Structure 1
């Protein structure tokens, strides 16, 4: 017998055990089609034209959210006369702010679960539905409820738009695009009162809501065809609805405290103290639940580390400073420099406009510099020095506006650095969650700063004056020297906020940004 016969002999053939052979016989033998299986090839990168189209549509979407935060203000007297209800006019603005602040983290988290396309459609749909109901509202209560619905959609626009930008633009290039969106936000905020006043005076106040329909349709027509090509980073999982409700409820109660405290109710009244206790209890309940949930709505470890807490605090301080000054400065201009209401509004333009220049400078620096956070450290330190000058010096109007513009230039460098650094520090499937948390914290910080600046003025003046409202009549009775002295404390508080922002940026870890190297010119979507 040769060696080949020996190897093929039946004695050397090994058979499978009977139980294993029986199990294998039950396996399906048909061929499974893989035609519908997802491609394993890498996605085709977006062209520059496609990125440009997406950015333009997102800028239009952002313009809607910015416009509706201010467009109603100048139409309020007309609305109050039509409904013969002036006492509840403030709720037309408050309802929108409460709803938009509360849902910011919700839309951010849900975009990480269900995708950006679904959330941008839902947010814009809620926004449009609220706009239509506002336009046809038959009474003040219905208008307030409709504004709340509109705020639910408007509050989702900001975090989802910033998250989509993170999906299509690399972190190194992203700062430049964030500067674009800062400019759009500024333009929308400035044009809002002008457009609202024109519509209310020459057309009908409902036009301030009807105008949202064609703008939303244009944004969706540009955006939706390109959304299918945007890289997918979301991960479907179980939604922690209880955690989301607790977070939203605590935010709403806290915002009501800041809105009513010192105006409708004294700060130490039983009502305000009870609301503070309720907000704290809801916040503690949220933390307790988040620590025990398998997949919490907002993972608490996400808010830790060497980047996120410092980025959140620095961005919150900067936005709080500019928001607080924007609300209170008209009273200062009218009392000290005897400007009219419209002139006081124009005097705010340097603060708003120059901050976008600072954001643009920071964005371009991030695209080229290795140590990108230095521009924000220098900017916030410069803003703190300018704030110190505003606190100590007595200036003519042109000097004050010049120093205010310098303050805004440094302050604006904070925003792109903080947003990009925070997004760059988390995993891709968590970018929406952290972006929603960033907008949520900044909104709370802005509301807190407005209330704090008003309280500082009240304490310094020792009088009950209508701060932050239509105060032209009240400002006449306030002596210029007293107002100038009181505002030194407001400018001092703004200086403290910018100093805190600078310290946070110094402490924040500077992680490398992915994207084109500094030697490669970055082509931007003009």
Structure 2
């Protein structure tokens, strides 16, 4: 792009010094989303309270999601190390708060603080990779991140269940300390020499507060709807309307701000990519929500066995990410990857919508491969469309839309199963048909999307 700062070339060894630290950060942030799930009953017994314990998961996800773009923007202005390292320290200290909590409110406070640090671990880590790796080479490394994410997603509930059964749920949080210390040491070694591409400017505090508040309200509405609040209740409607009003105010404030949190020119460049990322993540989380329930309900699988049955979906997702990364590295073209991934995912969802009970595990592997091709590729595309000084905020914005898409997808799947009119099979058909509609919308977007040619060929 004209006028864009040109980063210097980094050797493979220099890249690895950065990537080793940020990979461990991603592992910490990802596994802490799910590792607590099997331990919640034990937490209830220990802390003598069952109310609001579902927020042990929600508090982390809400604060991590709402702060992700803020961390990305700040890392553009002040450097990756100056944001990631303090947030890693916050994550470690918050883990200590959780491990020593004597009440449910103290545990929830610790989880919220953990999420604030965890949001930076994801956004700033991915931005740091973009600092040292040319766009065309990023797929080679993004496959590692996809594998770490799949490992964390699959291992989290298993590890959490083992610790809760044989030790204490508190060890789940104490285990973050040595891992966090190692990540801190690796980041201190690899990140401080990264360049600061963004200009120092006044921080858009008003925009940050509006974005965090609106995001939190919308995610609360999606999390509470159909569980704690009826979908047609006035309180649920109030949450949604307040969130939409907040986003409208945020948009108006960004147009007037001298140094907006989300520049309008960047939003314009990324609009199709973030829409595709939102659709893809919505379909993926809906599938993750429905497959274990389907196996338990119709194949009489125990919860642990149903979780294990998701392994082909997760592993094929990592394989799809690797295949996409190698293809973009060799060709430099992104659009064929999008089309292929969406086509495979659409085929899988069509099969599940037509016959939910016909080999669901095998079809889940097909779905995982197709959806896995899209996850790292949308991130690479967004970073390629951003200027060097916009990498952090572009990454944070994409991760924010992904998280909101995931919440929407899980909610959509739950609503479809509830709307099956006392016919469970019909509910699953509706759910997978909704997912098919999402991926087909992605294919329609590809008809309008121009090709993105990645810079920087293979070494």
TM-score normalised according to structure 1 size: 0.84
Q: What is the CA distance between 1:223 and its match in structure 2?
A: 2.1
Structure 2 gaps of 5+ residues are 1-5
Show the counterpart of 2:341. 379
Aligned residue among 186, 190, 197 for 1:222: 186
Show the counterpart of 1:266. 230
Show the counterpart of 1:325. 287
Do the aligned partners of 2:356 and 2:428 also contact (CA within 8 Å) in 1?
no
Do the aligned partners of 1:322 and 1:351 also contact (CA within 8 Å) in 2?
no
Do the aligned partners of 2:214 and 2:243 also contact (CA within 8 Å) in 1?
yes
Give a deviation string over 1:338-388, Cα, whole Å, max 9, x none.
111111111111112111111110000000114332022112112101211
Counterpart-to-counterpart distance in 1, 2:293 and 2:377: 32
* Alignment root-mean-square deviation, CA: 1.6
Show the counterpart of 2:456. 515
Counterpart-to-counterpart distance in 1, 2:334 and 2:260: 33
Do the aligned partners of 1:46 and 1:229 also contact (CA within 8 Å) in 2?
no
Aligned residue among 350, 353, 375 for 1:388: 350
Q: What is the CA distance between 1:99 and its match in structure 2?
A: 0.6
Counterpart-to-counterpart distance in 1, 2:227 and 2:96: 31
Show the counterpart of 1:166. 130
Matched, 1:79 2:43: yes
SS of equivalent to 2:420: helix
Show the counterpart of 1:3. none
- The correspondence of residues 103-182 of structure 1 with structure 2, limited to 5 A, is 103-182=67-146
Show the counterpart of 1:429. 389
Show the counterpart of 2:316. 354
Show the counterpart of 1:503. 444
Counterpart-to-counterpart distance in 2, 1:121 and 1:113: 15
Q: 1:417 to 1:154 in 2, by over 3 A?
A: same
TM-score normalised according to structure 2 size: 0.96
Show the counterpart of 1:488. 429
Q: What is the CA distance between 1:393 and its match in structure 2?
A: 2.4
Counterpart-to-counterpart distance in 2, 1:176 and 1:191: 23
Q: What is the CA distance between 1:254 and its match in structure 2?
A: 0.5
Give a deviation string over 1:54-113, Cα, whole Å, max 9, x none.
212111111001110011001111101111212221011111111111001110111111
- The correspondence of residues 199-278 of structure 1 with structure 2, limited to 5 A, is 199-278=163-242
* Greater share of residues in helix: 2
Counterpart-to-counterpart distance in 2, 1:386 and 1:46: 40
Q: Which has the larger radius of gyration?
A: 1
Counterpart-to-counterpart distance in 2, 1:216 and 1:177: 22
Counterpart-to-counterpart distance in 2, 1:144 and 1:461: 37
Structure 1 gaps of 5+ residues are 1-41, 463-481
